[in-house]
Amino acid sequence: MANPGREEMRRRLDLVERTIQERGWSGRVCRGLAEHLGVTQRTIREYRQRVLEDIAQGYRGIDRDLARGEFLLRVREHMSEAKRAGRFGPVAAMLNIEGRTLGVYQDSATLTHQTESASLDDVIERLQELPEPVRQQLAAALTGER
């Protein structure tokens, strides 16, 4: 088969990218694309490599905070769609993604370091901001009066 022209190559790469977005990547996807386009699986893997390189190139030099903001916009859009559809499992998953992206979830080493560096006065001040019933429960738990 002759080499595809520029327009045909762009169409093929777009198809590979769209298929990966919709179905992920697997041997089955690779075989299906190869059959559909009438090329070898090796050619499809090369197309996939070009698609990934194009995506990576698009993010080179981009400000990480801007990229994070763009990512969060997309997550929030999908989360809104899932809420409207009453699909709360995906909503919870997307909230988790959002929290990890924003750094809400931190590893225990980071939390331990932050706790050690907080002064006792800071801790007491934060505890005083808690509602009275919560402070009473905490005091009872700490003194063993629960």
pLDDT digits (tens, 9 = 90+) for 28-75: 999 999 999 999 999 999 999 999 999 888 878 878 788 888 888 888
Enter the pTM of the model.
0.52
Q: What are 69's two structure tokens?
A: 């903001």
Q: Can you give the residue ranges of every domain in the chain?
A: 6-59, 64-102, 118-143
- Mean pLDDT for the chain overall: 81
Report the alpha-carbon distance of residue 23 to residue 17 in Å, rounded: 10
Higher pLDDT, 135 or 42: 42
Of the candidates 90, 65, 68, 69, which has an alpha carbon nearest to the alpha carbon of residue 80? 90
Q: Name which of 8-22, 33-47, 95-109 the model is least confident about.
A: 95-109
Q: Contact 16/47 with Cβ under 8 angstroms?
A: yes
The Cα-based distances of 17 to 11, 30, 37, 92, 103 in angstroms read 10, 12, 14, 27, 29
Could you tell me the two tokens for 11?
């169409």
CA 46 to chain centre: 26
